[in-house]
Amino acid sequence: MIGVQEAKEIIRARIEPLAAREVRLDDAWGCMLAEDCAADGDFPPFDQAAVDGYAFRFADIASGALRLAGAVAAGSRLPRVLEAQTAVRIFTGAPMPAQADTVVMQELAKVADGQLVIDDRQLQQRGNVRPQGSDIQEGTVAMQQGTVLSPAAIGFLAGIGRSAVVAVPRPRVCIIVTGNELAKPGQPLQHGQVYESNSYALRAALQQLQVAEVVVRYVGDDLSQTTEQLDEALQSADVVLVSGGISVGDYDYVNRALKQCEVEKQFYKVRQKPGKPLYFGTKGQKPVFGLPGNPASVLVCFYEYVVPALELLTQRRLMPEPLQLAIASQGQKKPGLTHFLKGYFNENDVQVLSAQESYRLRSFAVSNCLVCLPEAMESFNQGMVVQVQPLP
C-alpha cells in the first residue's frame, strides 16, 4: 500500500495532456487553443454604417444641398457608388457606398423636398462609420495559443469566419457503475437494493467543472459484462471511471476485468480513509480509475485524484487553491492513514462535520471542503492549523 503523496505523484508522472485536435467551434467552448488563430480577412470586411441614417461624402456638405438618391439595407450585395452631392438612406451594418465617408443618424437629420437637412453639429468626417478591418486586419493574430475559449471568444472566432479550431479537446469521460444491488432513483426499492447515487454525484461533479463529456454505463456484478463494458469504454472515452467492485469481495470483478482488458496497474490501495482500495491504471495514454464504491469514497477519490488527472489532461486549473486553517474542534484519528474529512470552513476556521462514514453522504452534502489530516497524526486540538481543500 502506498501513501497519498506517492499516489498523487504516480498520477502526475503518468498523465500526458490530451493531444490537440481539430474541434468544431460548436464544441470548443472551454477548450484551450493549441494554435494562434489569424484572421483570414479584414473584419468588418467592408466599411459599414454604424447607425440607421443617411450616408454621404463629408466634403459635399460644404458645396451645397445633398439630394437623396436611394437606399442601402444591411446585407445589400450590390456595390454602389455615391454620386456627387447626393446622400443615400442607409441602415446599421449596411455597406457604405464607394465615395461615401460619413453617416448622420436619422434622429439628427430630415428629408425635405428630396433634400437632406442635417442638424448634427458634432458630426465629423467618417462619423458613424465602422471602417473595414477596424476590429481586426487580415493576417493579424485574433486569438493566441493557450487561450481558454470563453463564450465571447467562441463568438469572436465565429465572427471572423472560423468553424473549427485546433484545441485541446474536452475529455470524454465514461463512468462504469457496477453493482447488482443498485436501483434507479424514482423506482421502488426491493429488499436488498439501494439507490444508485454514485453516477449522479460524479456526473454532477463533472458538469460543475465543465471540462468533460460524460457517458454512464451500468453493469451487474459479472466478469464478462464488466470486461465487455470496460473494453468499449476504453475504446470510446479518454478517461474511464469505474464505481465500486474494486475491493476483495467474491463479487468484486473490476480488478479481473481491468487485467483482461490489459489495463496496466499503476497502483492499487492507498493509505487513506475513505477510499483505501483506490485503483489507478493506464491503457496506453488513457487513465482508468477504480473508485471504491462507498458513495463518500467515490467523491473523495474524485476530488483528490480524478480532478488532478483532469487538470493534467486539459492543462487547466480546476480545483480551488488549498487553504491552511485552524480547526474548530478536537478529535481522535487512527495513525497510519491520511484522513479526508468533510468540513465546513469560513474566513476564521474550519469545522469538521459529523457523519464521516464512507457509506453516507449526509455531511458531504452540506460540506464546502475536505480537511486533510496527515498519516502520522493521532489527534487534533482546537486551533491546530490543518490543510483544507475547498470544493469547487
For helices 307-314 and 4-14, angle between their N-to-C axes, nearest 10 degrees: 20
Nearer to ligand MOO, 275 or 287 (CB): 275
Taking CB under 6 A as the criterion, the residue among 294, 314, 338, 363 binding ligand LQZAQKY5 is 294
- Chain positions contacting ligand MOO, by CB under 6 A: 273-276, 292, 294, 297, 358
Binding segment for ligand LQZAQKY5 (CB under 6 A), chosen from 63-71, 76-84, 177-185, 344-352, is: 177-185
CB-based closest residue to ligand LQZAQKY5:
293
Taking CB under 6 A as the criterion, the residue among 115, 145, 247, 266 binding ligand LQZAQKY5 is 247
What is the smallest separation between the CB atom of 357 and ligand MOO, expressed in angstroms? 8
Nearer to ligand MOO, 292 or 343 (CB): 292
What is the smallest separation between the CB atom of 248 and ligand MOO, expressed in angstroms? 12
What is the smallest separation between the CB atom of 17 and ligand LQZAQKY5, expressed in angstroms? 29
Q: How far apart are CA 338 and CA 3, in angstroms?
A: 8
Nearer to ligand LQZAQKY5, 44 or 292 (CB): 292
What is the smallest separation between the CB atom of 375 and ligand MOO, expressed in angstroms? 14
Nearer to ligand MOO, 48 or 363 (CB): 363
Q: Do 66 and 88 meet the contact criterion of CB atoms below 8 Å apart? A: no
Distance (Å) of CA 29 to CA 114, 144, 147, 149, 168: 51, 15, 11, 5, 11
343 binds, among ligand MOO, ligand LQZAQKY5, none (CB under 5 to 8 A by kind): none
296-335 residues in contact with ligand LQZAQKY5 (CB under 6 A) are: 297
What is the smallest separation between the CB atom of 217 and ligand LQZAQKY5, expressed in angstroms? 12
392 binds, among ligand LQZAQKY5, ligand MOO, none (CB under 5 to 8 A by kind): none
Q: Do 101 and 84 meet the contact criterion of CB atoms below 8 Å apart? A: no
What is the smallest separation between the CB atom of 271 and ligand LQZAQKY5, expressed in angstroms? 12
What is the smallest separation between the CB atom of 339 and ligand LQZAQKY5, expressed in angstroms? 13
Nearer to ligand MOO, 275 or 281 (CB): 275
Binding segment for ligand LQZAQKY5 (CB under 6 A), chosen from 79-87, 122-130, 161-169, 190-198, is: 190-198
Query: How big is the chain, counted in residues?
Result: 392
What is the smallest separation between the CB atom of 274 and ligand MOO, expressed in angstroms? 3
CB under 8 A, 24+ apart: contacts of 132-136: 132/42, 132/44, 132/45, 132/46, 132/47, 133/42, 133/43, 133/44, 134/44, 135/43, 135/44, 136/39, 136/42, 136/43, 136/160
Give the interface with ligand LQZAQKY5 as residue ranges (CB under 6 A).
177-179, 181-182, 194, 196-198, 243-249, 252, 274, 276-277, 292-295, 297, 358-359
